[in-house]
Amino acid sequence: MERLDSLGVEHSPKIAATIGWMRLFSDPDGIEHHLYTSEPHGIDRSNEPRAGRQARVEEWV
C-alpha cells in the first residue's frame, strides 16, 4: 500500500476476504479495483453469512 499512499490514492483498510486479505481502491474513472493476497490469512469465515467456501480442486481423468 506504500505505492498507493505515495501516489495519494485513497484505499480501504485491510479487509479479511474469504481466503486472504483484500484492499479496495478506485481509479480516476471511478472504477473500483480489488487487490487480493495469494497467501491465506488463516481466518475461518465459512460459517459467516455470505462467506464463500474454498473450492476443492480435483484432477479430471
pLDDT value at residue 52: 56
- How many domains is the chain partitioned into structurally? 1
Distance in angstroms (rounded) separating the CA atoms of residues 51 and 35: 18
Query: Can you give the length of the chain in residues?
Result: 61
Q: Please tell me which residue, 11 or 38, carries the higher pLDDT value.
A: 11
Distance in angstroms (rounded) separating the CA atoms of residues 24 and 14: 9
pLDDT value at residue 43: 84
* Number of other CB atoms surrounding residue 19 within 10 Å: 19
* CA nearest neighbour of 32 among 40, 23, 41: 23
* CA nearest neighbour of 54 among 28, 9, 19: 19
pLDDT value at residue 1: 80
Q: In the structure, what pLDDT confidence band is assigned to residue 50 with cuts at 50, 70 and 90? A: low
Q: Is residue 55 part of a domain?
A: no
Range of the domain at 14: 2-36
Q: Is residue 53 part of a domain?
A: no
